[in-house]
Structure 1
């Protein structure tokens, strides 16, 4: 009898393990038959010549084989929409319905390309479960799946308003009419990449619980969230919201579109997109960052929260320098969500195999940035300490102890370090570090303190680099 019970238990364990494997692969199977790339074309006039601007997003089949859900901001105002499956089949599409509150669009395909509709399921906004986002992130030319987790919130039903920064940004969205600040959202602790807009967020069993959204900026960093699928998607089919005829704020201001000739073939478009992705990517061993945005100082300032605006305004007022004509190149590490900014047009290179680095022409002003993945918050903090001890040894560098020197804990996962160091030659280092659980971003600048006192051009350069350092952060969620 004991042998029978033993064999029964073994059999049950085997069945459970097999079912787990099936469950883990079902989100992948659902993605293969239901997730698509949404390619958009916007016809513009540049230097008196008509050109096409190419953008990409993600989408997924729902309700019928010829219906696809995606993000409204990605397709609004597009002159042409093309749907691509990962098996190379494609068809044109048009916007059939929109739900502005949730930034959703329902596309009708011109022909059936064999898509299978996905099912919807509700989820707890404070769930600790792991989900998966399937789509076509920027610079990736085949479908990709990534882990997604929710950020915990004190709100039972968090809204977009809770993560938006800057009154200007809220005003732009209200004027545009989508997404609305009152929209319910899932707060996302993992990074959602450009190109993921409209992608399904799935549970292990392949049902859709959310739709990836974003396309906005809070300062230099991207703002990410997801729309609850079971709450909003059923309302999409019967929505009478007016379809926007012009491109969204997100596409106009914050997206990196690729410009091609009006008569470019699909192959020529693809080659141009690949070329730009390669040109904008800087690789450092297993780590890479991509330039995703170039923006003016004023554009970035307007989307920052009040505290960030106040700090930068105080800094520029202190030195009596006008930054309105300056621009910044924004680089992102899609693996960690780390974002850093350098003066526009500067060359980003690799230093000592460890750091992304930019400098002025005589290299007397240096900027360094790097991000890491550790086992958790404690190791991230220890890593920062070790890096600082290695770069600024106590026998040659002295900490400039100020009120803001050291660590500030925001919560159990998020910690910020700020500090300054100086050596005997008046070389001055400013360091900022952010720890977000297992993710770590550290940025520092080096300059000569004495030169600031007599060289106005050097002072302006220093301020440009210093503001770029202060804009560095993780994607907001």
Structure 2
């Protein structure tokens, strides 16, 4: 009987997800891809304001039907929402307007949407996250933002930092802005709002559903200009992806963007971190290269886990010996990346195993003897909302330096994605090295140090 009940529950969830998939659309506007959903009528579509690249050129596609032109009917800037309308009904299914209570912490939710330019929709699971509410009993966007980012958002015309949100423990894919966030009973609870860019990674949330009533009655007009800050601050779904994918076992990485260190630092404030760790590393690297802020990184995201890796821009990422690798043979630099899914009870053993995997001959042998560099390392792991990151630097008796990042992320109650990354230097850098050597050394070291997870 227990097995039958479990099967029935699993089957019911599948039905709910299938029903939700019949109420979403792909949206293309200007230079941005996104998702939207049908609401109250067969020709009303809810979308996010930041995903509208050209208000005069918005097209939507329902299932495998032809693209249809849509016009902007309503705008609600404070909640980053727009209501689109097509000339005729495009679907027989839509979400209604009945009220549902705010879900509790750890309530399971999901969404269905389109990942960038993919033709087929897919689902993503979440849980409602615990986030300290600093302005009452309900979370608002301000609760999620670091102070520097909050100031930047407040300079924009939208959204309001007082907008009520649900923090999502999970990984919103690029292209899911505007997707419906739904509970396992099929109730619409919110609108996926992409996510705040936290350096290389993203922090995800959704706008609460009750703003749809305000959207319908709003008389606001579309903003006259879209600030360039929206591209830095939000995971708006710009079509700058070149479709590069690479697999590692069951994991699939896709290149999602190219960013400068300055863009990443704007939201994550890496350079202002504690004296030990990345802040110290940033100051140390600044001695050797004046180009840190303009250095570019190709950023890859693993679709399901949110594992986010950085590669010096323009370098190839290749699969080799059960890991991903990128190299600069001229100067002897090599970076490797690894990810595995394990049971939570094996975390500590997995940490040690990955550390040895990343550091051949770490314990001596015929190679150099490595020693820990506390000034350029984190004294202990950094715990973020849903994962932890340990960044470590090792020097050796023979000159090489290793920068190593190991992170893990709790994905559900029984398993954890565990990841490791390392950069190798064949020598200790000095001021006597050429500018080119120093620049390449710096961008490789930063690439390893900034590897992380989205929440």
Partner in structure 1 of residue 399 of structure 2:
426
Displacement after TM superposition at 1:134 (Å): 0.7
Gaps of 5+ in 2: 411-415
Partner in structure 2 of residue 347 of structure 1:
316
Flag the 1:226–1:373 CA change in 2: closer, same or farther, 3 A: farther
**Deviations for 1:4-31, whole angstroms, at most 9, x for unmatched residues?**
xxxxxx8xx9997797466423422422
> Are the aligned partners of 2:261 and 2:294 in contact in 1 as well (CA < 8 Å)?
yes
Partner in structure 1 of residue 121 of structure 2:
143
> Are the aligned partners of 1:415 and 1:434 in contact in 2 as well (CA < 8 Å)?
yes
Partner in structure 2 of residue 158 of structure 1:
139
TM-score, normalised via structure 1 length: 0.81
Partner in structure 1 of residue 73 of structure 2:
96
> Are the aligned partners of 1:77 and 1:248 in contact in 2 as well (CA < 8 Å)?
no
Question: What is the RMSD computed on CA atoms of the aligned residues?
Answer: 3.0
Partner in structure 1 of residue 372 of structure 2:
400
Displacement after TM superposition at 1:331 (Å): 1.2
| 1:30 aligned counterpart, secondary structure | helix
Mean alpha-carbon deviation: is it higher for 440-449 or for 25-34?
25-34
After superposition, residues 377-416 of structure 1 pair within 5 angstroms as 378-392=345-359, 393-396=362-365, 397-400=369-372, 402=374, 404=377, 407-408=380-381, 410=383, 414-416=387-389
User: Which 4+ runs in 1 deviate beyond 6 A?
Assistant: 13-19
| 2:298 aligned counterpart, secondary structure | strand
- Residues in 1 aligned to 2:385 and 2:155: alpha-carbon distance in whole angstroms: 37
- Residues in 2 aligned to 1:317 and 1:158: alpha-carbon distance in whole angstroms: 39
Displacement after TM superposition at 1:387 (Å): 1.5
- Residues in 2 aligned to 1:420 and 1:311: alpha-carbon distance in whole angstroms: 11
Partner in structure 2 of residue 291 of structure 1:
255
Partner in structure 2 of residue 265 of structure 1:
none
Among candidates 279, 284, 288, match of residue 315 of structure 1? 284
Flag the 1:439–1:137 CA change in 2: closer, same or farther, 3 A: same
Partner in structure 2 of residue 183 of structure 1:
163
| 1:300 aligned counterpart, secondary structure | helix
Partner in structure 2 of residue 267 of structure 1:
none
Among candidates 332, 350, 363, match of residue 364 of structure 1? 332
- Residues in 2 aligned to 1:346 and 1:433: alpha-carbon distance in whole angstroms: 22
Gaps of 5+ in 1: 1-9, 43-52, 260-272
Flag the 1:220–1:208 CA change in 2: closer, same or farther, 3 A: same
Partner in structure 2 of residue 35 of structure 1:
24
After superposition, residues 63-74 of structure 1 pair within 5 angstroms as 63-74=40-51
> Are the aligned partners of 1:76 and 1:248 in contact in 2 as well (CA < 8 Å)?
no
- Residues in 2 aligned to 1:14 and 1:290: alpha-carbon distance in whole angstroms: 37
Displacement after TM superposition at 1:398 (Å): 2.9
> Are the aligned partners of 2:109 and 2:182 in contact in 1 as well (CA < 8 Å)?
yes
Displacement after TM superposition at 1:293 (Å): 1.1
TM-score, normalised via structure 2 length: 0.85
| 1:28 aligned counterpart, secondary structure | helix
> Are the aligned partners of 1:188 and 1:225 in contact in 2 as well (CA < 8 Å)?
yes
Larger-Rg structure: 1
Partner in structure 2 of residue 331 of structure 1:
300
